[in-house]
Structure 1
Amino acid sequence: MNLVIAGVVVVWLLIRQLTPRPVKEKSLFGVVVLAYGVFAASTFPASAPVTVVDVAVLIGSAILGCALAALRAFTVRLRREGDRLVQQGTALTALLWIVGLAQHLLSELLMTVPMLAQATLLLYVGVVIVVQRAVLLARARSAGHLAVHGR
């Protein structure tokens, strides 16, 4: 069931990334996906013997995913439309999403517990959404498109 929900979220996310839309400084989407991902991961059977190797692979996948998210934020086009700042992902943005999701799911090949990567997919997606958004907002601020906080 988690893969179905994750699939719907990812398709919706890719459509959303490639569609021009206003940049909002505050958005709960990534936080909501992250919270649901924590919940979904917490329902993974406690009887499954998760090892140190499994945890290390998950952490490695998250680190790689965050690096891809930061890179992905630089593939999103930012432009002014009147008084609004608009963002739109590119084909490279979509490709980097697919690569990130594939590396997370393929990390399961290194794990001792089957389906652990699938069980943590929404957690992974939530983390990388939050990172991509943070880098995109920082990029917009440094370019003078958004007010810098604290100034």
Structure 2
Amino acid sequence: MDTTTNIVIGLIVLAWLLSRQVQKRLVREDRKPIVLLILLVLGLVQLGVFLKVGAAPSTGVVLLLVVSFLFAAAFGVIRAYTVRLWRSEGQLWRQGTWLTVVLWLAAIGVHIGLDFVIDGAATAKGLGSATLLLYVAMSLSAQRLVVQSRANRLVRS
């Protein structure tokens, strides 16, 4: 897949995720992480295609990518605390706020910024866009874990 395709796929996924973030939704402990697994698989496929077609990235580029994923997780944790949780009629609900959306956009902005730095390395051109879905999966996973932890504490109280 080329860089443009990776970016378009990433933007479609981001728009879908943002719309779901601000919807009122039930919090269910038994919910399987299907979306996360799909994002992870697609992200790994994109990365695999990149690595198969391009040259191996340098150690510095790999370290930048790791830093990017750490930022993704950190944004996910922070975003999780902007999600409203409440009980209604015996059920636990959640809904992201405008700050949740702003933090998603900031997180993607950080990844894009690091993508420009990574693209500066001749052997890594396109690696940032090839890892966008992995970045989103990492960030969403961290957010999900913290929201679920917060929800569990509410259920017990």
Give the TM-score of the pair, scaled to structure 2. Answer: 0.87
Q: Aligned partners of 1:100, 1:55: CA distance in 2, in Å?
A: 19
Q: Aligned partners of 2:98, 2:49: CA distance in 1, in Å?
A: 35
State the AA in 1 paired with 2:22. L
Q: Aligned partners of 2:156, 2:102: CA distance in 1, in Å?
A: 26
Q: Aligned partners of 2:156, 2:104: CA distance in 1, in Å?
A: 25
Runs of 4+ in 1 over 6 A off after TM superposition: none
Q: Percent identity?
A: 34
The unaligned stretches of length 5 or more in structure 1 are 147-151
Matches within 5 A, 1:2-151: 2-25=6-29, 26-27=31-32, 28-46=34-52, 47-111=54-118, 112=121, 113-144=124-155
State the AA in 2 paired with 1:125. V
Per-residue deviation, 1:110 = 2.1
State the AA in 1 paired with 2:23. T
Per-residue CA shift, 1:79-130, capped at 9, x if unaligned? 1121221110001100110011110111022221222110100011111111
Q: How many residues align?
A: 146
The unaligned stretches of length 5 or more in structure 2 are none
The CA RMSD over aligned residues, in Å, is: 1.5
Per-residue deviation, 1:45 = 4.4
